[in-house]
Amino acid sequence: MPFSDSKRDIVIVGLGNPGRAYARHRHNVGFMVVDELARISNSSWKKDRVDAEICKALIEGHSITLIKPQTYMNLSGKAVAPIMNRLYADPSRLMVIHDDMDIAFGRVRIKLGGGDGGHKGVRSIMDSLRFSNFIRVRLGVGRPPVGVPPETFVLSAFDPQDETAAAHLVSGGCRAVQFVVAYGVERAQQMLHSIKDVPVDSAAAL
């Protein structure tokens, strides 16, 4: 069954840290994807009553609520949970878009449920909702170079030579969201994950 068949709200959360200082960091690719979804939908962001920016967008012909928590990453759930409650949204129809160091740079994966994978933003949402079986769109940023701590790596900007691949990563994240909305999780996974061994410089194929 397509994910969009139900009349319940579809909520899509992009994870990141607020402020210009963090804007191009690897940890903010979730923000970058929802910003692009808003742009291609000709939709605009507004400040919500809680610590979040919110946007109503049209994706694959369906009305979607996009959220950017403004609480900083580790407290993302404190922004997401009140909006979910206010919308009477079904958490099983929640998509969370986030960076993932366990996936090669430039690749995108869709996952339903599971643990937090060490991602504190995902963990905060799980704890606040008391629910873990939501959809994750995982954006591969790769592993840090030898000697660079993971926290330093994700809280740093993409290297200039990686900007094109980063743009392709964002495009791939948007495509993953569109697939889920239009076809459902299982079919979207099949469509997205059928592309094998995509090199970074061909990440747009995602």
CB 15 within 8 A of CB 79: no
Could you tell me which residues are annotated as the binding site for tRNA? 22, 72, 74
Q: Which residues contact 111 (CB under 8 A, 6 or more apart)?
A: 135, 136, 138
For helices 163-183 and 29-40, give the axis angle rounded to 10 degrees.
60
Whether 119 is catalytic is no
Which residue positions form the known binding site?
22, 72, 74
Handedness of CA 66, 109, 151, 163 (dihedral sign): negative
What are 3's two structure tokens?
Answer: 């994910």
Q: Active site residue: 25, 27, 98, 119, which one? A: 27
Instruction: Give catalytic residue positions.
Output: 27
